[in-house]
Amino acid sequence: MAKILVTGGAGYIGSHTIIDLLGNGFEVISIDNFSHSSLIGLEAVGKITNKSVLNHNINLCDFAALENFFEHEKEIAGIIHFAAFKAVGESVEKPLMYYENNIVSLLNLLKCVDKFNIKHFVFSSSCSVYGNAQNLPVTEETPLAPSESPYATTKQMGEQILTDLSKISSVNIVLLRYFNPVGAHLSGLNGEVPIGKPNNLVPVITQTAAGLLPMMHVWGGDYDTRDGSCIRDYIHVMDIANAHTKSITYLIKNNTNKVFEIFNLGSGNGVSVIEAIHSFEKVSGLKLNYKISERRAGDVISIYADNSKAKELLAWKPIYTIDDMMLSAWQWQQYLQNLDSFVE
């Protein structure tokens, strides 16, 4: 039973990955300072798995605190690094905050990886590193275009840091470029908890349907796509979570070899914003109040993945459809509202 450190373990993808790791026999510890997350994610882990996960409330930008953690927490086999700020719009408005948090935290963590001889490292990257790709679907060999936001730039920089480190370090590394994680755990007990006003499409859809938002905007209706709205590759969060488990397993199994791999994690299918809205309306039986608005700064026009490499090397395959994603997200939204009512 290998011990895995998950940074950002209380977050959306982090908490779902912990559920998948525990279900596959790993021991898990978490670091999360709740700056962009809440206790709900880790509480859900306990409800779903009947296992408690110890979380350390540490800001990864505080090197002394992080170093102290590693001095006392022994036998960590690998790290899955999620902890980062991730809102595209906010990064455009506050670029320095994003560069400081996302890059300094990664550097501090890698200093500890080196000092404490951690063997395996999985990095949470993003399809945003591709920018406005010229050819679709994108493969891991697709050249990285100029980023469209400071958030995306931090992911490009993080990948470059890890690429350079791999040339002189014995640590084995996997970079996971995932596309648009959506949906919730099928139990209905865990999902995305936006802090403040949501920025990502699916929470905006579900909160609009629930009456928490008066209406939603489709940012841009005049793009060169089949219906004028942006196209994304939506992937269920539990499919993404399982890919992290398979990645850390892949690194451990290949422990005697030097490993540096990049994998796209997407469904392989592009879905437009309008098509996602129609899927939600179908599975929920509700009509959404939305309007087409001006384009939003930082948005890529169209992107979806070629996921064949992950299928081949990781034996990973996404299993959930866009309808599954929307239905699970709606069930989670209803659970959240009942939880809020109970608390009140």
CA–centroid distance for 78 within its chain: 18
- Orientation of helix 63-72 relative to helix 95-115, angle to 10°: 30
- Report whether 158 contacts 102 (CB < 8 A): yes
Between CA 19 and CA 13 the distance in angstroms is: 10
| DSSP states of 165-220 | HHTT---EEEEEEE-EEE---TTSS-----SSS--SHHHHHHHHHTTSSS-EEEE-
Nearest to 124 by CA among 220, 222, 12, 201: 12
Give the SS3 label for residue 235: strand
Bridge partners of 101?
Answer: none
Residues classed as catalytic: 151
CB 263 within 8 A of CB 177: yes
